[in-house]
Structure 1
Amino acid sequence: MVGHYDENLLSDMLPLYYTKYFPQNIFCRWLCCGCSPQPLSNRELSFTLADDVYLRYLSISDQKELQTLFQKKCPHKLDIGAVYNTKPSIARHDSVVLARELVFDIDLTDYDEVRTCCKEAKVCEKCWKFMVIACEIIDKALKDDFGFQNILWVFSGRRGIHCWVSDYEARVLDSPGRGAVADYLCLIMGGDNQNKKVNLGNDNLHTSIRRALDIIDKYFEEILQDQEFFSTNDGLKAFLKQIPDDNLRSQTEKKLEKLPESSLERWRNFISLYETYCRENGFAVRKIKYLVEEIKVQYCYPRLDVNVTKGFNHLLKSPFSIHPKTGKVSVVFKPTNARKMKLSDVPTIQSLLDDSTADSTEHQNNMKTSVKIFQEVVFSLEKAEAMRRKADANMSLEF
């Protein structure tokens, strides 16, 4: 196993990983809370085996059954589905979905229209900052605006992050309710052919939008320097198309084309030009009142896969699953630590099982830290569930 990760060796490594490193006990406790008041056996699990053999509608009753399945099937990928009114394997066509965590899936491929450092499956420390912003904005909104507390953040293993909201109120939301939450968090609208995808109107900005902009502002100039959004002709043209006022767009184009290609310098000159233009053209201000904010949002605000959040049938990769292509563990992390998180620090199955690799000790410690964070989330969820059941019992007694 010495050397770089080899996908061909995954089948040999996984049995040992599932036995030694996968936190089976705390994982089952998390699933139990997410199923409550239904039994664990009503939760759907899905395995992707070697050669892309796909198994759905699996279920377990306890940790022992999970361990047996792991050793028997050796899944290359583990996905989690909804909670049904019966075991999903028994009546998959007639079963009814009763609950599912409120989930969010954010993938860096959805940033390909703005990120310049990488494309498609490639990810680097520069574009990871988009994930940092997304994590901070969504976590804050879920807690402050919706009152959710039991939130789990997981690195996908390659190019994105997943968010699981396990509060009871979130788990039992119907599809329209999930859609309403997703729509509330979406500010970027429109397809590939739409140039300006953000319109914040001309009324006072909602508190949640101002809060999101405060988070974006912490990173915006840094990302400008990393991504150089406006340094190329194509990048500059895309930027100019976001300016709805013809005169301001024309003035901006003339000004910026004469400047060096530095996106930061071009941005700062645009801000100066915009402020002057607004002072001198009061009649136009209403139309472009929040133009600067709209541009920041279009480049940096989270891009959510809304269908994942709205639907119940979409499976989502389990925490601590191994990504087959990278060998990286889908580690749990704290949203407050997202900024410090480096992709090179994420444990791989190779580094965990092979003590001779350079990163082995550090990655094993990082794995322990991730499991500890997972435990903290599960303990908090168990406490919340106990309080909820007690409150429900007291209400029943009153009747």
Structure 2
Amino acid sequence: MDVDGDERKIRQEIVQPPGCNADYLKLYYGKLFPHAEMFKWMSYGNDGKHPACDPSYFGRREFSFTLENDIYVRFQSFNSALQLENSIKEKCPFKIDIGPVYSVDPARRHAYAQAGDNVFIPVERELVFDIDITDYDDVRYCCSGADVCSECWPLMTIAIKVIDTSLRDDFGFNHLLWVYSGRRGVHCWVCDGRARRLTNEQRAAVTDYFRVYKGNDNSHKKVSLTGPALHPFLERSSKVLTPFFEEKLLHSQNLFASEERFEKVLELIPDESVAAHLRGEWQVNPRSSTSREDLNVVRWERLKTKTKAPGLRRCCEEIVFSYAYPRLDLEVSKHMNHLLKAPFCVHPKTGRVCVPIDPDRCEEFDPTTVPTLSTLLEELNREGLRDDTENGMFSNNKQYSWLFCFFSW
């Protein structure tokens, strides 16, 4: 339940990981959290220092805090970096969410309630994307639920590569921030001015452009690639997804290693006679005793050979897309007023910091090595809790440079 201002209701208590508590968060917000940089980013030049700026811009942005014991406080607003910093340090939120910029100060929205429906409305918001590893549970066998490992995380890496390239090349966006969610996925913030000003209808059109993986739990085939030639976006994506599928995913997830697994692949072949022939081969000869080749590769190559028949020219591509194409939470991207977890906050269930990911080096990112709140404070403790300089620890200590890869524009 969302609650306003001081009208707070206690929801289900947050399960805290070891070392993730209010005392640790107080130190983190006091010593490490980039308050000034967050204000600079979300002001977009409207910081009161330039004649043409809008001094009310940042003050119309909604912030939501989830406090200890899951007390949820929405529609907070701040007029300066100092106000934002003081409120975070005072309330010590276990989670920070960022919403849109409204037409009026969201904290004073009730004062405009009698003026009509078009007074308190969202007017700007970054175009955001949310990709969650749990949406791949039907094609990953190493983990399930919120668990991730080095075998399944590359699904997130390939999603970043596909979506980032399209946003830049197909839509002309330049200012993209990719952020680890702190647990099981990634977020993308598209911050170009024209992206922030997109209407809900325009956002829905952008998300529909990426809507390739369709269907539901009751439908086997969720990708259909039609036409004499693929759309340029799909053609480009295929050149990324196919090598990933064949060189990584086949092996890491053992997609053909058992009847249960290869049956899921065979269900995607529209010609039942071809699927039945392959099924018969693999059931009679489950594993060659003389071959040293990877069983997954052997069976995939055999499938590719059998689906070269007329009418099946797109079959292998559809299988690749079904397993490897990014699975976006499209509802998150469609609506301007959707809240999204702030970068650099600490995930309340893992204690991991929501750090940015460089899309050009995303294959190097390993979620299992992301610093946690407790490990950061252990490092601080070893150094001694000395006073920081005026610019803060982020800009002066290379030890935390991985946290300071923020926007410079």
Which deviations, in whole Å up to 9, do the C-alpha atoms of 1:289-343 show, x marking residues without a partner?
2111110010011000000000122210000010011100000121111111112
Distance (Å, rounded) in 1 between the aligned partners of 2:199 and 2:189: 16
User: 2:185 pairs with 160, 183, 194, which one?
Assistant: 160
**Which position in structure 2 is the counterpart of 1:228?**
254
Code of the residue aligned with 1:249 in structure 2: it is A
Code of the residue aligned with 2:367 in structure 1: it is L
Instruction: Confirm whether residue 18 of structure 1 aligns to residue 29 of structure 2.
Output: yes
Computed over aligned residues only, the root mean square deviation of the Cα atoms, in angstroms, reads 2.5
Per the TM alignment, residue 250 of structure 1 is displaced from its structure 2 partner at its CA by 1.3
Code of the residue aligned with 2:224 in structure 1: it is N
Distance 1:263 1:168, change over 3 A: farther
**Which position in structure 2 is the counterpart of 1:298?**
322
User: 2:403 pairs with 352, 370, 381, which one?
Assistant: 370
TM-score by length of 2: 0.83
User: 2:74 pairs with 51, 56, 63, which one?
Assistant: 56
Code of the residue aligned with 1:269 in structure 2: it is R
Distance 1:73 1:277, change over 3 A: closer
Distance (Å, rounded) in 2 between the aligned partners of 1:271 and 1:197: 22
Distance (Å, rounded) in 1 between the aligned partners of 2:399 and 2:273: 54
The 4+ residue runs of structure 1 with deviation greater than 6 A are none
Per the TM alignment, residue 229 of structure 1 is displaced from its structure 2 partner at its CA by 2.1
**Which position in structure 2 is the counterpart of 1:331?**
355
* Contact 2:20–2:348 (Cα < 8 Å) also in 1: no
**Which position in structure 1 is the counterpart of 2:44?**
33
Per the TM alignment, residue 202 of structure 1 is displaced from its structure 2 partner at its CA by 3.4
**Which position in structure 1 is the counterpart of 2:223?**
198
Distance (Å, rounded) in 2 between the aligned partners of 1:21 and 1:332: 15
User: 2:346 pairs with 322, 329, 344, which one?
Assistant: 322
Higher helix share: 1
Code of the residue aligned with 1:110 in structure 2: it is D
Code of the residue aligned with 2:408 in structure 1: it is F
Identify unmatched segments of 5+ residues in structure 1. 359-363, 381-399
**Which position in structure 2 is the counterpart of 1:260?**
287
**Which position in structure 2 is the counterpart of 1:219?**
244
Equivalenced residues, count: 363
Distance (Å, rounded) in 2 between the aligned partners of 1:34 and 1:245: 58
Which deviations, in whole Å up to 9, do the C-alpha atoms of 1:194-221 show, x marking residues without a partner?
1010000132011111211121133223
Deviates more, 1:309-318 or 1:138-147: 309-318
Instruction: Confirm whether residue 188 of structure 1 aligns to residue 245 of structure 2.
Output: no
**Which position in structure 2 is the counterpart of 1:238?**
264
User: 2:335 pairs with 289, 307, 311, which one?
Assistant: 311
SS of residue paired to 2:299? helix
Per the TM alignment, residue 265 of structure 1 is displaced from its structure 2 partner at its CA by 2.8
Distance (Å, rounded) in 2 between the aligned partners of 1:172 and 1:356: 41
Instruction: Confirm whether residue 120 of structure 1 aligns to residue 149 of structure 2.
Output: no
Distance (Å, rounded) in 2 between the aligned partners of 1:270 and 1:8: 46
Instruction: Confirm whether residue 88 of structure 1 aligns to residue 106 of structure 2.
Output: yes
* Contact 2:20–2:373 (Cα < 8 Å) also in 1: no
- Percent identity between matched residues is 38
**Which position in structure 2 is the counterpart of 1:388?**
none
User: 1:79 pairs with 74, 94, 97, which one?
Assistant: 97
Distance (Å, rounded) in 2 between the aligned partners of 1:366 and 1:182: 38
Per the TM alignment, residue 252 of structure 1 is displaced from its structure 2 partner at its CA by 1.6
Distance (Å, rounded) in 1 between the aligned partners of 2:208 and 2:131: 14
Which deviations, in whole Å up to 9, do the C-alpha atoms of 1:45-85 show, x marking residues without a partner?
00000000000000111111011101221100000001101
**Which position in structure 2 is the counterpart of 1:251?**
277
Instruction: Confirm whether residue 348 of structure 1 aligns to residue 372 of structure 2.
Output: yes
* Contact 2:179–2:186 (Cα < 8 Å) also in 1: yes
Instruction: Confirm whether residue 44 of structure 1 aligns to residue 71 of structure 2.
Output: no
Distance 1:34 1:294, change over 3 A: farther
SS of residue paired to 1:158? coil
Distance (Å, rounded) in 2 between the aligned partners of 1:242 and 1:34: 51
SS of residue paired to 1:198? coil
SS of residue paired to 1:90? helix
SS of residue paired to 2:295? helix
Identify unmatched segments of 5+ residues in structure 2. 1-15, 47-52, 114-118, 383-396
* Contact 2:307–2:313 (Cα < 8 Å) also in 1: no
TM-score by length of 1: 0.85
Per the TM alignment, residue 274 of structure 1 is displaced from its structure 2 partner at its CA by 3.6
* Contact 1:82–1:313 (Cα < 8 Å) also in 2: yes
Distance 1:325 1:277, change over 3 A: closer
**Which position in structure 1 is the counterpart of 2:5?**
none
* Contact 2:76–2:107 (Cα < 8 Å) also in 1: yes
Distance (Å, rounded) in 2 between the aligned partners of 1:34 and 1:209: 36
**Which position in structure 2 is the counterpart of 1:385?**
none
* Contact 1:157–1:328 (Cα < 8 Å) also in 2: yes
Distance 1:196 1:250, change over 3 A: same
Which deviations, in whole Å up to 9, do the C-alpha atoms of 1:241-296 show, x marking residues without a partner?
10001221112212233242999534543434543553xx4xxx2x3221111100
Distance 1:142 1:356, change over 3 A: closer
Distance (Å, rounded) in 1 between the aligned partners of 2:381 and 2:266: 49
SS of residue paired to 2:243? helix
Distance 1:167 1:207, change over 3 A: same
Distance (Å, rounded) in 1 between the aligned partners of 2:319 and 2:298: 13
